[in-house]
Amino acid sequence: AIESGVAQKTITDWETYAIELDKRLGLDNQLMRVLGAKARRNPKRLVFAEADNIKILKSAQIAYDERIAYPILLGDEKTIRQMALDNSIDIDDMPIIDPRNDEYEEKRKQFGELFFKKRQRKGVNQYEATKMMKDRTYFGCMMVENGDADAVISGLTRNYADAIRPALQVIGMEEGVKKIAGMYMLLTKRGPLFLADTTVNLNPTAEELADITLLAAKEVRSFNLVPRIAMLSYSNFGSSDTPEAKLVARAKDIVKEKDPTIIIDGEMQPNIAFNQEILRDNYPFSELVDQEVNTLIFPNLAAGNIAYNLMKEIGGADAVGPILLGLKKPVHVLQLGSSVRSITNMALIAVIDAQLKCQNAGQEAAK
Ligand code: ACO
């Protein structure tokens, strides 16, 4: 029923939105259009965990109308239906699930058992595990883990850290990943710019920073772009002999050891990363000479988080994110109070993530 739900309308809104955005930013950025088209080629079942919020409901409608996703709405059915009616939102084809409802007792039990197996030695007892499935974030993550949905977005109405924990506990990390991280894509006049870690790890070690960089590079490649990475600090190529600057330089070396083909340099200041003249004149040895940097890696969470917010508020860039990197399955946690446009963008990112992860899982299964 979920699969057949999307009406075959001719929809051009996504393109209109992308073109308007391009005009506003004064750029010819095709990325969002390309991503929209990519999502539409293979829409996925996307759980909106806070569907009794009007912004979420509007985003679900846009995602549905634009054929980028098959929304599944979590929340109190009566509230959702009333809200849809009051706002002329057509949700007839969208399944509504209220995890607290008696109707879903069996499902809660099934999910609770699965969750208990994962967390029994982490202080969760069986009764608690089942009870926790009344929480929509846990239930939504469990739907993805259990294959009842392809992706979930949540977190609009709760603290970011509290919304990440269910994803870590239920879904966990991709093989080989030690820490998840957060990335923002900023649509700027000079094209898309990727920033990490902007949302998760407070003070990464050099090894962790290298892992964050590799996760970000992988994500940038998934958008069909070649990552050109500047590892940022307040120092340029050893100009400051401090532990913070050295940590970033060491992280760059580790990345290079792990992936010798990657285009990366640092530690460096952002103004140097974007000024070819200074770079060429003063640091002609740098790998980033004649390269257009599109990925910025920050030494810690404070720097990354402050930078993206400044670029968004003062620099006028449109921010898409936070995109969670390194989770085994597509769970994306919204920033508290995100706009309808941000939520819709994240729905798009979640669908593309799901396409990629399904494809990878298929390849693994075929081995
Ligand atoms: N990647 C993967 N797993 C992690 C990570 C990570 N980066 N950090 C912690 N964990 C795991 C731990 O291993 C632990 O697993 P376990 O329970 O299976 O043993 C579990 O998560 C909880 O560990 P804690 O040490 O208790 O971690 P914490 O409670 O600090 O939560 C969190 C982790 C939420 C990611 C934390 O790092 C955090 O609060 N980060 C900052 C979030 C934030 O404030 N961001 C800025 C604003 S958000 C925005 O701008 C959109």
Question: What whole-number distance in Å separates Cα of residue 245 and Cα of residue 34?
Answer: 37
- Residue 26 is predicted with a pLDDT of 47
**Integer Cα distance of 365 and 359 in angstroms:** 10
pLDDT value for 185: 92
**How many degrees, rounded to 5, is the angle at CA 85 between CA 82 and CA 88?**
150
Per-residue pLDDT band at 194 (split at 50, 70, 90): very high
Find out whether the beta carbon of 195 lies less than 6 Å from any atom of ligand 1. Answer: no
Whether the CB of 338 sits within 6 Å of ligand 1: no
Residue 20 is predicted with a pLDDT of: 60
Of 364 and 6, which is predicted with more confidence? 364
342 within ligand 1 shell (Cβ under 6 A): no
Residue of 361 and 201 predicted with greater confidence = 201
> From atom 32 of ligand 1, which residue's Cα is the shortest distance away?
161
Q: What is the pLDDT of residue 187?
A: 87
Section 340-353 average pLDDT: 92
Radius of gyration of the chain (CA): 21
Nearest-atom index, ligand 1, CA of 164: 34
pLDDT in tens, 278-323: 999 999 999 999 999 999 999 999 999 999 999 999 988 888 889 9
Measured by CA distance, the residue closest to atom 6 of ligand 1 is: 179
Contact between 183 and 219 (Cβ < 8 Å): yes
Q: Measured between alpha carbons, how far is 70 from 364 in angstroms, rounded to an integer?
A: 25
Sheet holding 263-268, edge to edge: 263-268, 228-232, 295-297, 191-196, 181-188, 318-325
Closest C-alpha to ligand 1, atom 26: 165
Instruction: State the closest ligand 1 atom to the C-alpha of 334, by its place in the atom list counted from 1.
Output: 51
Higher pLDDT, 17 or 177: 177
Among 158, 169, 200, 324, which is best to mutate for testing ligand 1, by the most ligand atoms less than 8 A from CB?
A: 200
Coil, helix or strand at residue 62:
helix
Q: Residue range 208-227: average pLDDT?
A: 95
Atom of ligand 1 at shortest range from CA of 336: 51
Q: How far is the CA of 16 from the centre of ligand 1 (A)?
A: 38
Mutate to test the pocket of ligand 1, among 158, 168, 211 (most ligand atoms within 8 A of CB): 168
- CA dist., res. 32 & res. 14, Å (int): 9
Q: Residue 359 has which token pair?
A: 């494809």
pLDDT band at 13 (very low <50, low <70, confident <90, very high): low
Mean pLDDT for 137-157 is 95
Instruction: Specify the range with the lowest mean pLDDT, choosing from 4-13, 114-123, 237-246, 265-274.
Output: 4-13
More confident residue, 251 or 318: 251
The ligand 1 atom at the shortest distance from the C-alpha of residue 333 is: 51
Q: Which of 225, 160, 188, 159 is nearest to 310 (CA)?
A: 188
On the question of pLDDT at 24 being above 60, the answer is no
Of 26-35, 186-195, 219-228, 307-316, give the lowest mean pLDDT range: 26-35
Cβ of 319 below 6 Å from ligand 1: no
- Whose alpha carbon is nearest atom 12 of ligand 1? 168
Task: Give yes or no for residue 23 having a pLDDT over 70.
Answer: no
Q: Is 116 exposed, middle or buried (0-12, 13-18, 19+ CB in 10 A)?
A: middle
CB atoms inside a 10 Å sphere around CB 309 = 15
Is residue 203's pLDDT more than 80?
Answer: yes
Lowest-confidence region among 15-19, 96-100, 332-336: 15-19
What is the reported pLDDT for 17? 56
Q: Give CA separation, 205 vs 209, 210, 252, 336, in Å.
A: 6, 8, 12, 28
pLDDT at 21 over 60: no
The pLDDT score that the predictor gives to residue 57 is 96
In 271-350, the DSSP E strands lie at 295-297, 318-325, 331-333
Q: Whose CA is nearest to atom 27 of ligand 1?
A: 165
Does the structure show a pLDDT above 60 at 332?
yes
Binning pLDDT at 50, 70 and 90, where does residue 90 land? very high
Q: What pLDDT, on a 0 to 100 scale, did the predictor assign at position 205?
A: 98
Q: Which pLDDT value is given to residue 134?
A: 97
Ligand 1 center to 165 CA (angstroms): 7
pLDDT at residue number 7: 35
Residue 11's pLDDT is 36
Question: Does ligand 1 have an atom closer than 6 angstroms to the CB of 122?
Answer: yes
Is the confidence at residue 2, as pLDDT, over 70? no
Question: If you count DSSP H runs as helices and E runs as strands, how many of each does the chain have, helices first?
Answer: 14, 11
Give the pLDDT score at 28. 45
pLDDT 10s digits, 166-193? 999 999 999 999 999 999 999 888 889 9
Closest ligand 1 atom number to CA of residue 305: 50
Work out the percent of the chain whose per-residue pLDDT is above 70.
Answer: 91
Predicted pLDDT at 367: 66
Q: Distance, CA 248 to ligand 1 centroid (Å)?
A: 22
What amino acid is encoded at 226 in this protein?
V
| Beta carbons within 8 Å of 334's beta carbon, 6+ residues apart | 153, 154, 155, 156, 163, 322, 342, 343, 346
Please report the atom of ligand 1 found closest to the CA of residue 322: 51
- Asked whether the predicted pLDDT for residue 39 surpasses 70, the reply is yes
| Average pLDDT value for the chain | 90
**Two tokens at 234?**
């307040």
Smallest CA-to-CA distance from 169 within 216, 117, 107 is with 117
